[in-house]
Amino acid sequence: MKPITLQLKKRLKYRIDMSCLSTLSKNSSSLASKIIMYGNKQFKIKDLFSIKGDDVNNIVIKSSVHLLDNIGKKLRDINITVYGDVGYSLGEQMISGKLEVYGNTLDYTASGMKGGSIFIYGDTGNYTCGKSNSLNEGMIDGLLFIKGNVGNNSIERMRRGNIIIEGNIGDYGCHQMISGTVMIKGKIGKFFAEEIKRGSIFTKDKNLVKNYNKSNNAEYNFTSFFIKEISKIISKNLFINNNSLVRYCGHKDTNNLSEIFLFKG
């Protein structure tokens, strides 16, 4: 079986809600005649996309543009690969499966994510991995890998899960983080990790640890294992070298219990 491949037939002007991809029945012919709105008119998917392949568990979207919203919203057990940019709310409240994007995404990427994994080989917008519309929880679980930069107000109220960012992160990152692990290679914006409760952050930004207590006799066996495992999942070497890690834990003034690992690089 070959993955279902969707290719846009024409240049788009209006936004399209693609959340119907997540609720596919196990019959590829039903996809073609699935109704989506384009502008204020109803279309069948086959009117806008050329469709090839028949494996409903693997979907490929080619020549995607930033007007395709809600790709992989509430996704369950399906793999979607996108070549090109995507719109708002990629993988919002995703439950399981895998999303890969070879392009940039707009706001609310991976908001309220509950599980599965998302790989973005480009930049993401604001509110990445934030609270989804009206839900009070941010990321609940899952893995998010971002090759590029991340916008403002990202990673709000994260509860569990792992986030790896190879680029920079904007202002107000990790606000009210409850738990989980965030690894950031690049620069960190203003007001980072305010009102954080617990959780682990890997960074090389020394400013962050100003008011933290240094753990003098910390062991790094687990981090070494963890870094190896993460490297396996993202199938390349992580930017963190276990030997250079220094652990800081607990803020001096507030009662937050978060830990920060400084690395050199």
Q: Which residues bind to other proteins, rule: CB under 8 A?
A: 13-15, 17, 23, 35, 37-42, 67, 69-70, 87-89, 106-108, 131-136, 171-172, 191
The least distance separating other proteins from the CB of residue 255, rounded to whole angstroms, comes to 14
Nearer to other proteins, 55 or 141 (CB): 141
Nearer to other proteins, 38 or 121 (CB): 38
Nearer to other proteins, 86 or 183 (CB): 86
Contact indicator for 215, 247 with CB cutoff of 8 Å: yes
Which residue type, as a one-letter code, is found at position 239? Answer: F
Nearer to other proteins, 172 or 226 (CB): 172
User: 207 Cβ partners below 8 Å, 6+ apart?
Assistant: none
Q: Report d(CA 184, CA 181) in Å as an integer.
A: 10
Q: Report d(CA 201, CA 205) in Å as an integer.
A: 11
The least distance separating other proteins from the CB of residue 204, rounded to whole angstroms, comes to 25
Tell me the pairing of strands 212-214 and 246-251: antiparallel
The least distance separating other proteins from the CB of residue 146, rounded to whole angstroms, comes to 19
Nearer to other proteins, 136 or 241 (CB): 136
The least distance separating other proteins from the CB of residue 111, rounded to whole angstroms, comes to 10
Q: Give me 53's structure tokens.
A: 């392949």
CA distances to 23, 98, 159, 226 from 130, in Å:
23, 19, 11, 24
Determine the distance from the C-alpha atom of residue 139 to the mean position of all C-alpha atoms in its chain, rounded to a whole number. 9
The least distance separating other proteins from the CB of residue 196, rounded to whole angstroms, comes to 14
DSSP H stretches of helix in the chain: 28-32, 45-48, 221-234
Sole residue written with tokens 């960074």: 203
